Amino acid sequence: MTEIRDMPAVMEVCDQLLKDVGCDFVALALQNEVGPDVRWHYASGNVNDKYKRITVRFGKGIAGKIISSGSPMMISDFPKDIYGKVTDHPIMLAEKLVSCYAVPLFFNGSPKGVLLVGKRRTYTFIDNEQEMVKESAETLEQILKGHILGGGA
């Protein structure tokens, strides 16, 4: 199976979003094909490779919460405006993010992935930035549709 970080179309969408929104970090997480765990598969603007080792349970962390709720999520001033423990947000800690906006990716009508944009300072993402993230998520859904549903080649 092709690694998502080796897919040029995915990298292009994420790198473009990084520029368009003017954020520091863009990452893509997907629920594992077997089991409920969620893993970060690709990042742009990352300060290290820790994201590759982060796995969160369904319903935990930003990725797990978005996949379980199917709704977008924004954090403007981490760790001040969060529910739960700081350690429940490993991607924020690993990348020293202070703000983020993340949206679900849907496959076959179910949330199975997350697209996250983040900044390393306090920030509230405005409507048109949120819209750009949603549009990029829809583009990624199309690119990854065969990869996720077909189990890849």
| Own/partner pairs, 85-94, CB within 8 angstroms, 24+ separation | 88/60, 88/61, 89/61, 89/62, 90/54, 90/56, 90/61, 91/27, 91/29, 91/40, 91/51, 91/54, 91/61, 91/62, 91/63, 91/116, 91/118, 92/62, 92/118, 94/48, 94/50, 94/51, 94/54
Contacts of 3 (CB under 8 A, 6+ apart): 41
Look up the CATH number of the domain holding residue 64.
Answer: 3.30.450.40
CB neighbours of residue 10 within 10 Å: 22
The predicted-structure confidence for 143-152, as pLDDT tens digits, reads as follows: 998 776 544 3
- Three-state DSSP class for 54? coil
Reading the chain (153 residues) residue by residue, the pLDDT tens digits are: 467 767 889 999 999 999 999 999 999 999 988 888 999 999 999 999 999 999 988 888 899 999 999 999 999 999 997 878 889 899 999 999 999 999 999 999 999 999 999 999 999 999 999 999 999 999 999 999 877 654 433
Q: Strand, coil or helix: what is 67?
A: helix
Domains in the chain, number: 1
- The model's pTM is 0.93
Q: Which domain holds residue 64?
A: 4-149
CB atoms within 10 A of CB 32: 12
